[in-house]
Structure formats: structure tokens, C-alpha cells
Amino acid sequence: MYYCSQCGSKQLIKKVPEGDTRSRIVCEKCHSIHYQNPKIVTGCLPIWEDKVLLCKRAIEPRSGFWTLPAGYMEKDESVKEGAIRETWEEAGANVKQLQLYLIVSSSQKSVSMIFLGQLCDLKFAPGIESLDVQLFTKEEIPWEEISFRFVREALTYYFEDRVKNQFPVRVD
């Protein structure tokens, strides 16, 4: 951030505001405090029988690697609605019976909330951000070509939990 989003001034400094305990970016002109908080990422692990649906990324970062449909939550939707929307946008698929499964908060920039979801049918197709969309059994998962750590985590937990048919919420 190079200028104040409130007043346009470039007089931004780092300091601990009065009554605060952390250093923040503060505008010296209008005194706005620019907090930097994680954004919410919402996504889905779509399931069909013994398979999961993955998308091959068409965009950076990690273009060409496999991921779950996920993205930033919009301000006019719930996390669950966001997960359904992302699954539609990136995988052309409809999901139902969403159930919160994994919360990843260890990244500094975002908190990811991943739902398990049942595919409504076998209709799916790559959206504009995907090169390909495919169903994979556990054995078919391209582990070497997984895009992000949270995707690897969700898949690892899922195939472990499926053996017991119990899917507790994981918080990392």
C-alpha cells in the first residue's frame, strides 16, 4: 500500500496506535488506521461415490497444477454460498449437502474454509480459471501435481476419514 485509501495521501507510517498493541500502517494526514487482516477463502471438495473432483488451474499461481474449486468470499454471500458458487464457476458442477470440513488459518493472508459437498450429477466442465476438471479415485490423485498445501491436507484427511466414515471438522 503506497497511499491512503481514505484520503489519497502518501504520508503512511508504521506505528502502534494509541490503545493498540501492534504496529499498524497509519495515515499521518487523516489518521486512518489501515488494518491488515486475513481474507476469507471458501471452497469445496466435491465428491461422487469413491471419487473427488479436482480442477487443473489455468491461472497463476500454480498454473497447470490440480486444485479444489475455491476463492475469495464475496461480501453478499455466506461461506457456504461462496463454496457452491466457486464450484460452479471453476468446475461447472453443482454440489449439495455441504458440510464444513477444514479450516486453514496458518497462512498470513487468508483463512480457508473448505466444505465437503456431494455432486448433484456428473455434469462438470472447466470454467475460465480451469484447464481441465476430472474425477479421481484415491489411487489416481496426482499427488505430485497438487497446487497448494490446503488442497493436499483436505485430500489426505478425506481419504483417511472415509475409511471410518467419520468426517470431523479439522482446524489448522
Minimum CB distance to Zn ion smaller for 13 or for 131: 13
Of the residues 13, 16, 30, 131, which one makes contact with Zn ion according to CB under 5 A:
30
CB 39 within 8 A of CB 110: yes
In the bound complex, what is the minimum distance in angstroms from residue 106's beta carbon to Zn ion?
A: 32
What nine digits make up the cell of 140? 489416481
Tell whether residue 131 is a contact of Zn ion (CB under 5 A).
no
For residue 13, state whether it binds Zn ion (rule: CB under 5 A): no
137 binds Zn ion (CB under 5 A): no
Min CB(4)–Zn ion separation in Å: 3
How far apart are the C-alpha atoms of 97 and 44, rounded to whole Å? 11
68, 43, 42: which is closest to 134 by C-alpha? 68
Assess 27 for contact with Zn ion (CB under 5 A).
yes
> Rounded distance, CA 62 to CA 83, Å?
20
Q: Which is nearer to Zn ion, 6 or 97 (CB)?
A: 6
Q: Is 7 in the site for Zn ion (CB under 5 A)?
A: yes
DSSP assignment, residue 146?
B
Q: How far apart are CA 99 and CA 170, in angstroms?
A: 12
Catalog residues that contact Zn ion under the rule CB under 5 A: 4, 6-7, 9, 27, 29-30, 32
